[in-house]
Amino acid sequence: MVVSYDKDPSVEGKRMSEITDLWGKDPWNTCFDMLIDANGTVPMCIFSTCEADVETVMKSPLGMSGSDGRALKADGPLAKGKPHPRNYGNFPRLLSEYVRTRNVMDLPTAIHKMTEMPARKARLVGRGVIAEGNWADLVVFDPHAVKDMATFTDPHRYPLGIDYVIVNGRVVVDHGRHTGELPGMVLRR
């Protein structure tokens, strides 16, 4: 599925088969024409993992949760294209779908796999655990209401059920509204 394509934004969110039909070209010419028009870069979402595999990894004591999403915004220049919904809802989806609905894991295990476990693996000192002297990176959410709202066709949607986001001890999101605080920093080991 095409994430962004400046020459023809109407194809954003469409699969290559749909674009091939729309343009009346064979798949190879469609693909190569897009790559040539975009100087070799056409961001895409690739669908290659089934739900059973996702659940198997989540159930494993070695599996942890992370995202290769990026910092986006639901409006303005960072709201371009049709990025993968994980950019807005990776962790809320885990909490609502895999903890609350499917019971793949319990809430404490999910929190551990989203915080302490990846912080330790990445050797990020002072992160991933609430403790005196650590950086105060916190998300305050309602476990009964947290839910991802982003979809592949409408990805620029913030999740529900998150009351506060605190980064480096400063409130960045207060009941769904950005406070204007920008305390984030590049993390180093």
What's the pLDDT score for residue 52?
93
What's the pLDDT score for residue 85?
92
Q: Taking the CA of residue 2 as centre, how many other CA atoms within 13 Å lie in the half-sphere pointing to its CB?
A: 23
Q: Give the tens place of pLDDT for each residue, 94-113.
A: 999 999 999 999 999 999 99
Residues 5-12: what's their mean pLDDT? 92
Lay out the sheet containing 170-174: strands in order across: 138-141, 162-167, 170-174, 177-178
d(CA 88, CA 137): 18
Q: Are 25 and 65 in contact (CB under 8 A)?
A: no
> What is the Cα Rg of the chain in Å?
19
- Report residue 59 as tokens: 């159930």
pTM (two decimals): 0.82
pLDDT at 189 over 80: no
pLDDT at 188 over 80: no
pLDDT at 54 over 80: yes
What's the pLDDT score for residue 108?
97
Residues 48-53: what's their mean pLDDT? 90
Residues 141-157: what's their mean pLDDT? 95
